[in-house]
């Protein structure tokens, strides 16, 4: 493949944008080489500035469950834009999307819209602190909850890739209130709680982790967290920025039958426009301004274009629940095909998958937490695999610490092409 124009554009971008990108993982630092500049996308495909067509397994990092430029979403945005792009006043469409979200997701009464997953998680933690009157939080090594200060304490995703788990600019004062636990290790959480008795406002986690590759919760882990939170008066916060409206209409709470106290959303709920949200039962949500004392706001929150895209997306998912079954079947097909190809070429691997989230770790041992994910990533095989796949027209996550997201726009022919590419690339691994 030729990436001449992408390379030129990257050189120009670096002169005026730090690192040439507006979000670090896009820069391909983790896998080496230079990023691809996309010109347009449609359905399951990206078309780059050099005219290459790529089968896309990122889908804007998750939200495009129905593929790129999905017509109902596009139509909704275009029609809405004709009426004006932002008013800074309430609009009816905000209530419509809130009603639909509350209908689809179990255990929530109210939802507040923000502009990103970062804002959703940051606001959820403030609300948890305000509601409980306690200051400390527990987060898990390798879970990523956006780039707000409290979370940049050995965070996953780009923060790990760039070797700055404790980013300069995050104060010691902030860091001391974030306690770090090991994912899938309930005893570790209990020890932290014991050592910080009555000081912990919430435990926040990705209930199915996606930012250290895909790591599903071990059996009993989420249930154990629920129990200990109930016993200790701690709020359980599920960061469903990736899993919400993807693993089921009602997210992980529905899929794995464990309830959280506050849920954070992002990505899907904006249909590819900049949206995040957080939701909870009335008693917690009514703690928010203007009703309650916890302040949280946003000039563009509930923006009509973003709400139109999100409403079109959620409406499709609500009215056609077979979509969840379809993406899951496609992911299982891919899983089986990749497994076969890697086995045939004797490549050591572990494939982690839950529903339509999947990742390939190049190590035989189980990958269950950040340490094992880092061990799997350290042999450099993923980076070689990434470039091999790209050369064959397949765009997977440009980092071993990310999940692949399957969209329903992928055809079985696309999946077969992908499996063929895995077979070819794995011969060289």
Among 111, 241, 260, 341, binds ligand PMP (CB under 6 A): 241
Contact flag: residue 118 with ligand PMP (CB under 6 A)? yes
Q: Per-residue contact track with ligand PMP, 347 to 386, x per CB under 6 A?
A: ----------------------------------------
Q: What is the largest CA-CA distance in the chain?
A: 61
Q: How far is the CB of 225 from ligand PMP (least distance, A)?
A: 16
Between residues 210 and 250, which has the closer beta carbon with respect to ligand PMP?
210
The number of angstroms, rounded, from the C-alpha of 137 to the middle of its chain's C-alpha atoms is 20
Token pair 């179990």 is found at: 106
Would you call 267 a catalytic residue per the annotation? yes
Residues between 242 and 271 with contacts to ligand PMP, criterion CB under 6 A: 242, 266
Between residues 52 and 399, which has the closer beta carbon with respect to ligand PMP?
399
Q: How far is the CB of 356 from ligand PMP (least distance, A)?
A: 15
Angle at 329 between CA 327 and CA 330, to 5 degrees: 65
Among 123, 178, 211, 352, binds ligand PMP (CB under 6 A): 211
Q: How far is the CB of 126 from ligand PMP (least distance, A)?
A: 15
- Which strands, in side-by-side order, build the sheet including 394-395? 38-42, 45-48, 53-56, 394-395
Angle at 264 between CA 263 and CA 269, to 5 degrees: 115
Which of 239, 369, 408, 414 is flagged as catalytic? 239
Contact flag: residue 301 with ligand PMP (CB under 6 A)? no
Token pair 């000039």 is found at: 299
Q: Which range, of 144-152, 295-303, 333-341, 419-427, touches ligand PMP by CB under 6 A?
A: 144-152
Q: Which range, of 75-83, 236-244, 249-257, 329-337, touches ligand PMP by CB under 6 A?
A: 236-244
Q: Per-residue contact track with ligand PMP, 70 to 109, x per CB under 6 A?
A: ----------------------------------------
User: β-strand 45-48 against 38-42: which pairing, if any?
Assistant: antiparallel
Contact flag: residue 144 with ligand PMP (CB under 6 A)? yes
Among 49, 94, 239, 328, binds ligand PMP (CB under 6 A): 239
Between residues 209 and 341, which has the closer beta carbon with respect to ligand PMP?
209
Q: How far is the CB of 275 from ligand PMP (least distance, A)?
A: 9
Contact 211, 320 (CB under 8 A): no
Residues between 170 and 209 with contacts to ligand PMP, criterion CB under 6 A: 206
**Two tokens, residue 98:** 């809130």
CA separation, residue 217 to residues 183, 197, 222 (Å):
8, 25, 7
Would you call 103 a catalytic residue per the annotation? no
Neighbouring C-beta atoms of residue 40, cutoff 10 Å: 11
Q: How far is the CB of 239 from ligand PMP (least distance, A)?
A: 5
Q: How far is the CB of 207 from ligand PMP (least distance, A)?
A: 10
Q: How far is the CB of 143 from ligand PMP (least distance, A)?
A: 7
Q: How far is the CB of 423 from ligand PMP (least distance, A)?
A: 30
From the number of C-beta atoms within 10 Å of its C-beta (0-12, 13-18, 19+), residue 35 rates as buried
Would you call 149 a catalytic residue per the annotation? no
Which residues participate in catalysis according to the annotation?
144, 239, 267
Binding site for ligand PMP (CB under 6 A): 61, 116-118, 121, 144-146, 157, 206, 210-211, 239, 241-242, 266, 276
């Amino acid at each position: 493949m030729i990436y001449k124009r992408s390379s030129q554009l990257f050189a120009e971008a670096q002169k005026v944008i730090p690192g040439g990108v507006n979000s670090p993982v896009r820069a391909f630092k983790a896998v080496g080489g230079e990023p691809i500049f996309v010109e347009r996308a449609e359905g399951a495909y990206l078309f780059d500035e050099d005219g290459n067509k790529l089968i896309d397994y990122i889908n804007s990092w998750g939200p495009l469950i129905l593929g790129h430029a999905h017509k109902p979403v596009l139509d909704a945005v275009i029609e809405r834009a004709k009426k004006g792009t932002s008013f800074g006043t309430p609009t009816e469409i905000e209530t419509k999307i809130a009603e639909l979200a509350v209908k689809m997701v179990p255990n929530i009464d109210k939802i507040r819209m923000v502009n990103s997953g970062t804002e959703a998680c940051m606001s959820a933690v403030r609300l948890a602190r305000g509601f409980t009157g306690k200051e400390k939080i527990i987060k898990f090594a390798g879970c990523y909850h956006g780039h707000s200060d409290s979370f940049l304490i050995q965070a996953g995703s780009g923060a790990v890739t760039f070797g700055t788990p404790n980013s300069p600019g995050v104060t010691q004062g902030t860091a001391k209130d974030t306690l770090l636990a090991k994912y899938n290790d309930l005893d570790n959480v209990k020890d932290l709680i014991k050592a910080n008795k009555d000081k912990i406002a919430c435990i926040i986690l990705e209930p199915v982790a996606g930012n250290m590759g895909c790591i599903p919760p071990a059996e009993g882990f989420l249930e154990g967290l629920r129990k200990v939170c109930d016993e200790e008066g701690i709020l359980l916060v599920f960061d469903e920025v990736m899993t919400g409206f993807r693993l089921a209409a009602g997210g992980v709470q529905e899929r794995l039958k464990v309830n959280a106290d506050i849920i954070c959303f992002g990505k899907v709920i904006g249909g590819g426009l900049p949206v995040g949200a957080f939701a909870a039962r009335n008693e917690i949500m009514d703690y928010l301004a203007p009703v309650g004392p916890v302040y949280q706001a946003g000039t563009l929150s509930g923006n009509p274009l973003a709400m139109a895209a999100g409403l079109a997306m959620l409406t499709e998912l609500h009215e056609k629940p077979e979509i969840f079954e379809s993406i899951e079947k496609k992911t299982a097909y891919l899983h089986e095909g990749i497994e076969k190809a890697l086995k045939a070429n004797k490549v050591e691997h572990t494939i982690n998958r839950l529903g339509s989230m999947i990742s390939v770790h190049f190590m035989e041992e189980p990958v269950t937490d950040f340490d094992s994910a880092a061990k799997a990533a350290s042999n450099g095989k993923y980076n070689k695999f990434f470039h091999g796949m790209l050369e064959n027209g397949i765009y997977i996550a440009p980092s071993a610490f990310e999940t692949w997201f399957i969209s329903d726009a992928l055809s079985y022919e696309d999946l077969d092409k992908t499996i063929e590419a895995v077979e070819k690339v794995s011969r060289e691994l």
